């Protein structure tokens, strides 16, 4: 767990601000288990107190003032007048947490987290790539990751990533092919959402003026988290929303009304980890369970159906040239069924094929 994780953790903030019941000793126990966590907790507390995150509405001027306070305070807390290693470590940790706090703050106030404000809050030397051309722009990162920026998009990233994490900020649209590194999670901050991976490929579309933000997964697993809850929903005790996505799945974050949903991409393809080929979808008197199993294995998408109702049903159809939805349409026509997409699953409804 990092300083950023603690600052964004509502449960931890309540503990810091003394708003948990006396009998709730989770954080005391967590800290006692590994005493070395004390410095991590101290840094996170410092950032939370500096922002008074639950009580105070901060103007842009106050945000900048607090940046200065954190930078100055970091040196004082380290007990060093010069830029010692400890001082720099405190300052780096404080600024990383400050960037996270900025993201949380703007989402909390039900505003789009401004790209420029998030970049400025990071406090680190970054490189910015802006695609003002009419064609995609490929950006290579220090860890070997490749990002393809679409026209009208911006990306901010450090020249070299930290030892324990990799973070970038996106405004617009990009395809991310991330080098695998289990020791350093990769996070993309884009509008009201954070996308976290270890090594995978995915697409994000997050233009500031769009009504929705979308994340589409091509390979691997992706977690998507949003803190964009309105004051009314926070008052009702609703938690931040989060999803885990796999290939052919996508997350859609609607800005109004606020809602994070999981569904399938527009045109699912056979996933790279599957041994299935297009020719495997030419069926001849094939039992329905075997047909659905072949689709699940090829596309990585669960298919829910009543096995008893479809017992004894078979399919004969050459489907190697059809996309997934066309395959489903033809299969359902043969077995007198219908289907719908529910939470990235295919749900089959049928009264039986006989």
Classify the phi-psi angles of 41: left when phi > 0, otherwise alpha if psi is within -120 to 50, otherwise beta: alpha
Shared domain check, 107 and 3: yes
Mean pLDDT along residues 315-319: 95
Q: What token pair was written down for 77?
A: 């807390």
Q: Quickly state the pLDDT bin for 7 (edges 50, 70, 90).
A: confident
Shared domain check, 158 and 235: yes
The domain boundary, picked from 64, 88, 111, lies at 111
Shared domain check, 284 and 261: no
Among 120, 127, 118, 121, smallest CA distance to 157 is for 127
pLDDT digits 0-9 by tens, 83-121:
444 444 555 555 555 555 555 555 454 455 567 666 665
Query: Which pLDDT value is given to residue 55?
Result: 40
Query: Which pLDDT value is given to residue 53?
Result: 42
Query: Which pLDDT value is given to residue 82?
Result: 42
Instruction: Give one DSSP letter per residue of 265-280, joined into a string.
Output: -SS----TT----GGG
Residue 175 lies in a domain: yes
Mean pLDDT value across the chain: 80
Domain membership of residue 330 as a residue range:
278-350
Residue 137 in 3-state DSSP? strand
Shared domain check, 261 and 131: yes
Q: Are 272 and 236 in contact (CB under 8 A)?
A: no
Query: Which pLDDT value is given to residue 71?
Result: 47
pLDDT digits 0-9 by tens, 241-253:
789 999 999 999 9
Of all residues in the chain, the percent with pLDDT exceeding 70 is 73
Residue 136 lies in a domain: yes
Instruction: Give one DSSP letter per residue of 273-311, joined into a string.
Output: T----GGGGEEEEEEHHHHHHHHHHHH---EE--TTTTT
Classify the phi-psi angles of 324: left when phi > 0, otherwise alpha if psi is within -120 to 50, otherwise beta: alpha
Residue 273 lies in a domain: no
Residue 190 in 3-state DSSP? strand
Q: Quickly state the pLDDT bin for 228 (edges 50, 70, 90).
A: low
When divided into structural domains, the chain yields a total of 3
Query: Which pLDDT value is given to residue 233?
Result: 52
Residue 6, φ and ψ in degrees, nearest 5: -70, -45
Q: Quickly state the pLDDT bin for 328 (edges 50, 70, 90).
A: very high
The listed range with the strongest mean pLDDT (62-66, 159-163, 260-264) is: 260-264
From first CA to last CA, the distance across the chain in angstroms is: 57
The domain boundary, picked from 265, 288, 316, lies at 265
Shared domain check, 17 and 93: yes
Shared domain check, 220 and 335: no
Query: Which pLDDT value is given to residue 277?
Result: 94
Residue 165 lies in a domain: yes
The domain boundary, picked from 76, 111, 146, lies at 111
Shared domain check, 261 and 130: yes
Shared domain check, 39 and 129: no
CATH number at residue 207: 2.60.120.1440
Q: Quickly state the pLDDT bin for 74 (edges 50, 70, 90).
A: very low
Query: Which pLDDT value is given to residue 42?
Result: 82
Handedness of CA 172, 175, 179, 184 (dihedral sign): positive
| pLDDT value at 61 more than 70 | no
Shared domain check, 285 and 243: no
Residue 120 lies in a domain: no
CATH number at residue 329: 3.55.50.30
Instruction: Give one DSSP letter per residue of 33-51, joined into a string.
Output: H-TTHHHHHHHHHHHHHHH
Residue 118 lies in a domain: no
Distance, in Å, from the CA atom of 298 to the CA atom of 276, rounded to the nearest integer, reads: 5
Mean pLDDT along residues 249-266: 92
Shared domain check, 291 and 235: no
Classify the phi-psi angles of 229: left when phi > 0, otherwise alpha if psi is within -120 to 50, otherwise beta: beta
Residue 288 lies in a domain: yes
Q: Are 264 and 249 in contact (CB under 8 A)?
A: yes
282 versus 27: which is more confidently predicted? Answer: 282
- Packing angle, helices 85-108 and 60-78, rounded to 10: 150
Residue 61 lies in a domain: yes
Sheet holding 345-350, edge to edge: 303-304, 345-350, 337-342
Shared domain check, 99 and 40: yes
Query: Which pLDDT value is given to residue 329?
Result: 96
Shared domain check, 335 and 304: yes
């Amino acid at each position: 767990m990092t300083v950023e994780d603690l600052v964004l953790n509502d449960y931890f903030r309540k503990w810091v601000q003394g708003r948990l019941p006396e009998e709730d000793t989770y954080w005391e126990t967590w800290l006692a288990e590994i005493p070395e966590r004390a410095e991590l907790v101290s840094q996170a507390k410092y950032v939370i107190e500096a922002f008074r995150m639950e009580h105070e509405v901060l103007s842009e001027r106050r945000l900048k003032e607090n940046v200065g306070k954190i930078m100055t305070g970091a040196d004082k807390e380290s007990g060093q007048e010069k830029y010692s290693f400890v001082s720099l470590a405190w300052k780096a940790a404080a600024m990383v947490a400050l960037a996270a706090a900025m993201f949380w703050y703007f989402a909390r106030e039900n505003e789009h987290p401004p790209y420029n404000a998030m970049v400025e809050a990071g406090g680190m030397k970054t490189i910015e790539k802006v695609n003002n051309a009419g064609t995609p722009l490929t950006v290579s990162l220090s860890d070997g990751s490749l990002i393809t920026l679409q026209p009208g998009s911006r990306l901010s990233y450090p020249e070299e990533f930290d030892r324990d994490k990799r973070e970038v900020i996106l405004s617009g649209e990009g395809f991310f092919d991330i080098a695998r590194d289990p020791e350093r999670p990769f996070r993309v901050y884009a509008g009201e959402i954070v996308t976290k991976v270890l090594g995978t490929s995915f697409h994000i579309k997050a233009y500031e003026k769009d009504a929705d933000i979308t994340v589409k997964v091509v390979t691997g697993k992706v977690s998507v988290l949003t803190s964009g809850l309105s004051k009314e929903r926070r008052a009702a005790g609703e938690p931040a929303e989060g999803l885990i996505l796999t290939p052919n799945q996508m997350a859609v974050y609607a800005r109004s009304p606020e809602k994070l949903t999981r569904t399938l991409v527009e045109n699912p393809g056979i996933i790279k980890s599957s041994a299935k080929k297009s020719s495997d979808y030419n069926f001849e008197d094939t039992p329905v369970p075997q047909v659905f199993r072949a689709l699940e294995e090829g596309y990585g998408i669960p298919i829910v159906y009543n096995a008893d109702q479809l017992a004894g049903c078979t399919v004969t159809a050459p489907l190697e040239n059809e996309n997934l939805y066309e395959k489903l349409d033809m299969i359902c026509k043969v077995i007198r069924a219908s289907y719908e997409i529910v939470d990235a699953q295919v749900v089959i409804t049928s009264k039986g094929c006989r």
